[in-house]
């Protein structure tokens, strides 16, 4: 299933809708080039979880933790593409919601159940998001997102 956002506000709204469908243990796997809106989508998820802090890219810290109705673990795996080791991120999964940017770089460290969102930069304001379910829990979420 694909969605198109024509503004940052729309991308946040899509993230917010998605965030309302997530539960403790959910894993959102984001892939896409730089500036395609991965962190903007995560801001919407945080908004749905009532996160009060400003959500920004964890590129240099790798992991940021935000408290809301559920804990949001926001991971940017961009700097981990050459690291073949398991860094223990899976341990956080059961205690909140995980959103991992550049998921392809670390996916071997996770089980097969997650929601993959491939994002594509179209132009300065337009982004395309392809939602791919990996597991029954995520089939229902993709259906709700349509």
User: How many Cβ atoms are within 10 Å of 23's Cβ, its own excluded?
Assistant: 10
The domains of the chain are located at 15-81+88-122
Global model pTM greater than 0.85 = yes
Fold designation for 15-81+88-122: Rossmann fold (3.40.50)
66-85, pLDDT tens digit by residue? 999 999 999 998 877 766 56
10-63, pLDDT tens digit by residue? 999 999 999 999 999 999 999 999 889 999 999 999 999 999 999 998 777 889
């Amino acid at each position: 299933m694909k969605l198109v956002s024509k503004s940052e506000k729309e991308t946040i709204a899509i993230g917010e809708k998605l965030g309302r469908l997530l539960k403790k243990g959910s894993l959102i796997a984001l892939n896409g080039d730089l500036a395609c809106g991965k962190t903007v989508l995560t801001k919407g998820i945080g908004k749905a979880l009532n996160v009060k802090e400003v959500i920004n890219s964890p590129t240099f810290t790798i992991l940021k933790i935000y408290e809301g109705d559920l804990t949001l673990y926001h991971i940017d795996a961009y700097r981990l593409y050459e690291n073949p080791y398991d860094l223990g991120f899976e341990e956080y999964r059961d205690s909140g919601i995980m959103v991992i940017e550049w998921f392809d770089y670390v996916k071997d460290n996770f089980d097969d159940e997650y929601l993959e969102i491939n994002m594509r930069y179209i132009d300065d304001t337009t982004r395309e998001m392809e939602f791919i379910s990996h597991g029954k829990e995520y089939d229902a979420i993709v259906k709700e997102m349509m």
